[in-house]
Each structure stands twice: as C-alpha cells, then as structure tokens.
Structure 1
Amino acid sequence: MNMDTFMNLGIGVIKMKRSKVNKLLILFVSIVFLSSCTTPNKEVTKIKFASYDYPWIFAPVRKDLVENNISGAINKNNNIANIKQLKNLNYLESGRLLQLNDNYPESIKFYDLAIQSIPKNQEESLEQAKKILLDKNTYNYYDIKTAYNIPDYAISFLYTYQALNYLKTNDVNQALKSLDSLDTAKIWRDEQELIAGGMKELAKEDLDRNDITNDNLGLDSFKSLKSMLEFSAVIPNAYGNPMTYYLKSLLDSAVSKNYQESLNDLENAQKYTVGNRYLDQTANEYRSAVIGQISPFSMGMGRIVVFYEQGLVNIRKSAKANLDLGNIGIRKMEFPVYKTKYSFFDPKRVTISSGKSTLVDTYTETLLDTTLYAMKSLIESYSKVVTQNVVIEAFKYDYDKNFPLGGILGSHLKFDLSNTDPKRADMRSWLLLPNSIDLFEQQIDSGNYTIQVNNVRQKIDVKQGKTTLLWIVDIGKFKKVYYFIF
C-alpha cells in the first residue's frame, strides 16, 4: 500500500481495490440507514480504564510472567477481567495464561469465547460493522468506549494457540479444524474498510459542509505512518501466519498423508517470511515427495521441528499528526503506532546428541516477527481509525456552531466543548504474544536423542516417518516445552 493509495483510505473508502467490497459497502450503507441507534448499557468497573492506558494496566501481568510467577500473572489479569472495553482482549490474555499454566480445558473455553466474537463470513461482518457504526460510543471524543475487536494478526495466533490446546488434549482433528479457520482472519481487514465507508456516509453532510476531503488531510506528512508503511512492506498482509501454515502442513501430512496440501501450506508460509532455510528445506522435502509420489521422509528417518517463541511482543506507542480539516482548520490528532526501530533476538544454538556424540550443531532462524505483523495490521485499520477521528472532529465542530449534525446519529451525539485536547490513541493489543518465533528443522535417523536449544534441554524420541515437534516458550525466567510426536 503506497501513500497515495493510503490517502484514499484516510477519510473513508474512496477507492476500494475489490469490487466485492464495493458491493458490500453499498449494501452495508443501505442497512445502516434503515437501522436505529443502539445505546450500550452502563457497567461499573473496579479499575479506572482508558484505552491509552492498557499497556501500563497490563504491565504487572507481563512482569510476573517474565519473573516466572504464572500464578501472580493470572491473579493480576483477573483483576482487570471485568472491564467491558477489554472483554474480548481479556479472553485472549486469559486463554494464553491458562495455556501456559497447563490448564488446557479452561484455555479452550476462553479462546472459544474470543472466537465467538469474530465474524466468520460476510453476513456476520456486516452485522458487526453495523453495530459499531450505530454505537454512539464510537464517536466519543474523550476516550475509546467501544469493545475491542480482535484484529487479523491476533486472529491467526488465536486459532494457532487453540490448535496447541487441542494437541495437548490429544484431539488432532480439532487442532486441524482450528488451523483451517485461518482464512477467516482476512474478513477483519475488509470490515475496516466497510466501517470507514459507512462513517463517511453517515457524516457526509458535515464533511461536505466543512470541505473535508481526502486530498487535503496531509497524511503524507505523518512520518510515523510513512515509516510503518515502508517497514512492513516485506509481508503482503497481516492475516497470514507462517507458523500456522507450517504447523498445518505437519498435521496434514500426519493425519491425511495429503502431501500436496502440506506443500501448499508450506508455500503459503514462504510468502510471509523474509527467507528461512529450514522452511525452504521442509518445502523442498514435500515438493520432492509430491513430484516423485513418495514419502517426504527418507528411509528409516524422522523429522525434528522446533518452534522457539521468545520474549513478548512490543507495545503500541502514540504519535501526533496535524491534519487539515478544511474549514475547521488544522487539528492535532493522536494515533497508535509501532516504532520501526527495535531490538531483535539472536539466533539460538541447537545441538542434537546421542550419547557422547554431537550429531547436529547449528542455529535457529527467524520464522516470524510478531511486531511486524501487528504493525501491518494496524496500518490496515488506519482507514477506519483516521476516518473515525476526522468524523468526530467534524461532528464536534458543527455541534459547537449549532449546525444540525448530519446522519441518523445527530440527535444522539453530545460534546463537551471545553475539552480541546486531541483524542488519545487506542493502545489496546494482545500483549502476551511472543516477540518472535524461530524455526529449526532436521531429518535424522530414528532413535533416542538429547536436544538442547539455547538453555532448554530435552530428551526426545524420533520415529520413522513421523515428526517430533518441540514447541518452546521462553519469556525471561519462564520456560515451557510442549512435546509432540505425530
């Protein structure tokens, strides 16, 4: 997405790339104008919450986890679980903590609650977008009062971690079913464009009256956005997850012996990595198997695979941009961003030994940088985020001038004119995701071995024609090893 294309998204969907989305937008806007506003019920929370505070509210949970105090992390997370603006997000955080604490049935329940909030098709997406558009809290000037909607990159991790839960409860078929749901993550991206277009239609009278157009916003001067666009250009989108595709390829091979499907999964994974020799190595093994109509395993050999999750994902930051709102003038707005300069983990040493003999001595390679995917996803949401902020400013200005507010929301919106500070950025994101994930893969003779990855040591079995998977989580002092053979 270049800057010119992005500018067209700045105050709504001016030019949509997909004709399907255009048709959905027309249908969506017609639904909106036939609907009435909804007023959410008030809910008292024990902890004062503002969306821009989330990384600091959640910091004690991350700190306890890093210090290997998983019980403390769970307890602190429970203290913020009642905040309604965090409900869906807390399902993700709770599911992850319970999983790391070996409580897989409860983790499945929380992840299922999160999955229930995700649109599975276009009809459900339209319904969710309509509710967001007609919620007066969407246009609250002072803080984000709306629910957290799980973005595409988080959806892909959600289905992957749910698959891990099912593997730990010996339900491989359910694990595969979870991984098969990955494609629904792309629905979220289209929904952002629908919401942006719907907001523009709802506020058309106010935008036109104040001569606000995409041409004069000035987003091309927003340096943080430009940096994110350039940095994230290495991946095509945020909803594809190479770890998910790689895991799915292993399970497809083990369950159905569908090596072509496994190869398709691996080729999908390759689209989302900036070169990983282990991924390429596995893909070549399956490519040879498909071409030769043979097993992807050499005679008498099995495969060792290591997923190495390390650290915790970077948090969102905020940056201010000056936008030109026509007759309203220049307005300073605050948007969520990710810094493009951050530290990366070094590759981890891998040794495989049998008795006193060291058979393998090498290093992992990065498969996935989670912050990169979070950044790409955030950019995909900017059409909605920017439009929302511009529309709020237009409504607030017209309210100040005693103009009738446009659209069906007009009679429901009120503004405190004494508040002139820019609206704070929404800092909510899934903060228990890993910083990055490394991959190692090696075929080896069947037998018993000791593998050491960084400072994690594990005895393993390798069986002919099967994959031994070590899924390692390394977060500060907290260490966890999931061990599978399939």
Structure 2
Amino acid sequence: MLKSLSMAFLLMVGLSGCAYNSVFVNYPSQIAPYKQQLSSDYPTANINDLADNINGNDGLLYAQESGRIMQVAGDFERSKAYYQQAISAYQAFDDKAIISASKLGSGASSLLLNDNAIPYRGPGYERIMVHQYQALNYLFSGDAQGALVEVRRSNELQSIEQARYQKSQKSVQNMANGTIDAQMAQLSQSTGSVTSSFLNAYSYYITGLLHELANEPNDAFIDYRKAAQITPDNQYLQQDLVRLAKQLAMPQLDEFQQRWGEAVMPSEGQGQVVFIVERSFVPEKQSITVPFPINGNIQSASLATYQPQRQLTTASLIQGLGDNLEAQNIANIDALAINALKEDLPAALFRQAARIYAKYELNQSVQSGSRRANNQVDAGALVMQIFNVISEQADRRSWLTLPRQAQIAKQFIDAGDYDIRLNNSQNVKIEVKPSRTTLIWAIETGNRTRFYSIII
C-alpha cells in the first residue's frame, strides 16, 4: 500500500515537468507574461522559453502561441515556422491510425489526474485560424500563391469541422447535471447570434479577399457570401457582394441593390484601402466546481467555463482618409471559443464522471487497506485526499494570444500618401496606388497598436 502511494507521488512530481506543464499549473497563468509583453516594446522577449515547450504534451498549443507572438511582432518568417509546427501536429493527430503507447499513458494518467494530461488537440476554430494566419504570413512575405493554398485549406476545414461536430453530437448522451445546465445557459447568453465554433466569417472574408486580389472574382463572391450569411449586418460585406454581382453581371444584382443600395465602384485614378483590425485578447477559461453524487456521498470535480463577457460594441475609428471611416465587426473570436467549450462540455462531463468514480474507488481501497492494517496506515487515506485535491484541475487550455474581435473597413480613394490613425494610436503613413489595393493590418494588444501594410 505504501509502495503504491509512493508511486502516486512520483507520478505527480514527474507530471509537473515540461511535458505536462498544465496538469498542475493552470495554462492562463503560464501564458500571462507573454501576453503582457505584446503591449511592450519587446513583444518577443523570452520567446525561446515559450517555444521550448513545443516538444511537450501541449506542444501544439505552444506552437500556436509562438507563431502568433512572432506574427504580432512582424516577424512573419519565424511565425510561419512555428505555425507549420502546429499544422504538422494537427496532421499527426489526423494520421494516427493506432493508439500509441504515449497516448495510452496519457489516457491512463488523465483518468486519475485531469484532462490536462491529455495531449492538446485544439478545437476546430483554432485549427482554422492557424491556416488563416499562415495565409497572412505568406501574403505579407510576398507569396500570394502560398497564401491562397492556406485559405483554401481553411475553407475545407470549416466544412470538415462542421461534419465532425454533427457526427460527434449523435454519439454523446445527455447527462443531467444542474450545474452544467446552468453553465450552458450562461454561455449561450455570451455568444449572441454566433451558434457554432466552426463557422468563422473572418476566415471566409480573408479567403474571399485573397481570391479577389488574385483576380478570381467568382471564388471571392462565394466566400464573401458565406461570410455575409454568418455576419449579415456588415455593410462592407454587403457592398462587396453588390459590387461583384455587378462586375460579374449576376442575376442577384437587382435583389442586392434593393437591399443594400447601388454598387460603389472606383473612379479613374483611385485605389482601394482595406483595413483588418484585431482587438484585445480572447478571454481565459475559468474553473467551476461541479458536484457528483456517488453512493450517497457528494464528490466535487472541476470543469472549465467562461465568465459572462461585456460586449465590445465600439467601432474602431480610422482617421486620415478624408471623412472618418468606421470599421465594422466581422467576427467575435470570443464567441467562437465559448461555443467550442459548449460543444465539448458533454464529453468533458462524461470524462469527469469517470474520473471521479475512479478516484472514489481508489480512495475506498486505501481506506479499506487502512482498516485491515489496524489503522497503521491511516496516513494513506490522507495522502489520497491531498492527491485528489491537487490533481483536480479544470482544463483551461486554449489559444490565448488570439484577438477577441476582428473588424474590417474598405474605401476607394485617390492615389497618394496618407497619414492615418486608428482610434488613439500613433499616426502611420500609407501609400495608395491607382487600381491597386493597399491592405492594412492593425493589431491592438492592450495599449499598443501595430500596423502592417502591403500593396497588391
């Protein structure tokens, strides 16, 4: 009995190393210093410390975070390398036809520890955004064809994730639990009109934009329309559809013009400016306690949730182009994250119930052994209680350097040089050329806004 308890402690100590960072130390606290640095003059400080974890249990997640940090800092080549590691990790999950020994080990440890012992696979919306951001890396590195490859993969994944979710829901049985039901209702209030995690208007918009810039207007129209179905009130999307319907002489033109007005077309000598604005950070998961009754006793477990979120309703104001231009919302990434948690809660609840039962049985076994030994190893029961408390950690892992919200704006203006500003940011200079598109990517992280622009 003492030998088995000693092994339990060794397991706890062993799993607290780099390969299992999140088992006993919650993930948001690990990533917090790196998020703070994104508001400083040194956004990539200690990036190697973060990237060193890519070979561990949460390697896919650390690759995503490292790629995003380098991208925010404007190092698109290093970002591309980190994102490729994340993409390879996703592919490795896909390609596993048999259960490896390492996966057996993680499954066994997660049964007695927590879901953080399971290798991080990432929800569908994160995987989609890896390809979207990789496309922007290629684009801002001057490789438009590489960017198109990535956005096509992003589109394909949205369809795959939708089919996977629908299939998984059929196999998940409803489990009655008042605490979970209350959390599901609260989470639903936080997502507004967003009803899934895998349909992302931001990704569809980027795909449509790249198709249009590649002179593929039919493909652009299809993706703009998908984006508009998800975010129907965005006036820039509406104008894109009217303009392309007119350009392609589509039968929907009359309907679109009645709904959204006449198409705005560029005048001679004008170019187009397109703004992508990313704001703040997605929220962190929090932990809640969920009661489970077993044989007349109430056992407690920890599950992840999101606290109610205050909506970001203020439009970003772009100055310096003549009349002020307001960016409009294209996607709430926080709503995608909340929906991803909602979609996983039934399966997480099932795993947690199995874990609570396993811990209960192990605790009963220890107590029984103590009684048979005339209470000489009563410490065994205390050790198991401590072990249960320490190991009971909600899985709070998620990609935390993602933006909370994405907005877009577009305008045709005369060619020339402009001094622009976003909200209260510093002024930056951009150039507009006739019959060309100037794409400006503005990333707000705390009190810092960074601008990247390219003429296409």
Q: Settle same-fold status: TM greater than 0.5.
A: yes
- Indicate yes or no: 2:229 matched with 1:271: yes
- Indicate yes or no: 2:58 matched with 1:95: no
1:245-283 Cα deviation digits (max 9, x unpaired): 11211211121x222211111111123326222222222
1:67 counterpart (31, 40, 43): 40
| CA-CA distance at 1:102 after TM superposition | 3.2
| CA-CA distance at 1:165 after TM superposition | 1.1
1:316 counterpart (254, 277, 285): 285
Q: Which residue of 1 aligns with 2:324?
A: 361
- Indicate yes or no: 2:431 matched with 1:473: no
1:260-313 Cα deviation digits (max 9, x unpaired): 211111111123326222222222222322335999843424321111112222
CA pair 424-46 structure 1, distance change in 2 beyond 3 A = closer
1:363-391 Cα deviation digits (max 9, x unpaired): 22222222111111111222321121112
Q: Which residue of 2 aligns with 1:339?
A: 307
- Indicate yes or no: 2:183 matched with 1:224: yes
- Structure 1 runs not aligned, ≥5 long: 1-38, 201-212, 354-358, 403-414
- Structure 2 runs not aligned, ≥5 long: 1-10, 254-262, 366-380
| CA-CA distance at 1:224 after TM superposition | 2.2
Comparing 270-279 and 391-400, the one that deviates more = 391-400
> Does the CA contact (< 8 Å) of 2:43 and 2:73 recur in 1?
yes
| CA-CA distance at 1:229 after TM superposition | 2.4
> Does the CA contact (< 8 Å) of 2:74 and 2:452 recur in 1?
no
3-state SS, counterpart of residue 319 of structure 1: strand
Q: Which residue of 1 aligns with 2:4?
A: none
> Does the CA contact (< 8 Å) of 1:235 and 1:271 recur in 2?
no
3-state SS, counterpart of residue 397 of structure 2: coil
Q: How does 1:84-163 map to 2 (within 5 A)?
A: 84-119=56-91, 124=95, 135-142=107-114, 144-163=116-135
CA distance in 1: counterparts of 2:325 and 2:290, whole angstroms: 46
3-state SS, counterpart of residue 484 of structure 1: strand
CA pair 392-464 structure 1, distance change in 2 beyond 3 A = same
| CA-CA distance at 1:429 after TM superposition | 1.1
CA pair 86-131 structure 1, distance change in 2 beyond 3 A = closer
| CA-CA distance at 1:161 after TM superposition | 1.2
**By percentage of residues, which structure has more helix?**
2
> Does the CA contact (< 8 Å) of 1:93 and 1:430 recur in 2?
yes
CA distance in 2: counterparts of 1:193 and 1:263, whole angstroms: 27
- Indicate yes or no: 2:209 matched with 1:250: yes
| CA-CA distance at 1:324 after TM superposition | 4.9
> Does the CA contact (< 8 Å) of 2:277 and 2:407 recur in 1?
yes
- Indicate yes or no: 2:271 matched with 1:302: yes
Q: Which residue of 1 aligns with 2:369?
A: none
Q: Which residue of 2 aligns with 1:18?
A: none
> Does the CA contact (< 8 Å) of 1:129 and 1:195 recur in 2?
no
- Indicate yes or no: 2:317 matched with 1:349: yes
1:87-124 Cα deviation digits (max 9, x unpaired): 11110111112223333222211111100122499x64
Q: Which residue of 2 aligns with 1:459?
A: 429
Q: CA RMSD in A?
A: 3.6
Q: How does 1:14-25 map to 2 (within 5 A)?
A: none
> Does the CA contact (< 8 Å) of 1:163 and 1:175 recur in 2?
yes
> Does the CA contact (< 8 Å) of 2:112 and 2:358 recur in 1?
no
1:393 counterpart (336, 356, 366): 356
Q: Which residue of 2 aligns with 1:13?
A: none
| CA-CA distance at 1:315 after TM superposition | 1.0
The residue identity in structure 2 corresponding to 1:305 is V
2:50 counterpart (68, 77, 93): 77
CA distance in 2: counterparts of 1:186 and 1:137, whole angstroms: 33
Aligned residues: 411
> Does the CA contact (< 8 Å) of 1:151 and 1:188 recur in 2?
no
1:320-348 Cα deviation digits (max 9, x unpaired): 223456x5754332211112233526222
Percent identity, please. 21
CA pair 427-460 structure 1, distance change in 2 beyond 3 A = same
CA pair 143-304 structure 1, distance change in 2 beyond 3 A = closer
1:26-79 Cα deviation digits (max 9, x unpaired): xxxxxxxxxxxxx9xx7883698334511112111111222232142525535x
The residue identity in structure 2 corresponding to 1:431 is L
CA distance in 1: counterparts of 2:163 and 2:74, whole angstroms: 36
CA distance in 2: counterparts of 1:461 and 1:71, whole angstroms: 28
CA distance in 1: counterparts of 2:57 and 2:216, whole angstroms: 43
> Does the CA contact (< 8 Å) of 1:219 and 1:323 recur in 2?
no
CA distance in 2: counterparts of 1:323 and 1:43, whole angstroms: 26
Q: Which residue of 2 aligns with 1:34?
A: none
CA distance in 1: counterparts of 2:306 and 2:96, whole angstroms: 27
Q: Which residue of 2 aligns with 1:23?
A: none
| CA-CA distance at 1:471 after TM superposition | 0.5
The residue identity in structure 2 corresponding to 1:275 is D
The residue identity in structure 2 corresponding to 1:432 is T
> Does the CA contact (< 8 Å) of 1:193 and 1:383 recur in 2?
no
| CA-CA distance at 1:440 after TM superposition | 1.1
| CA-CA distance at 1:197 after TM superposition | 8.7
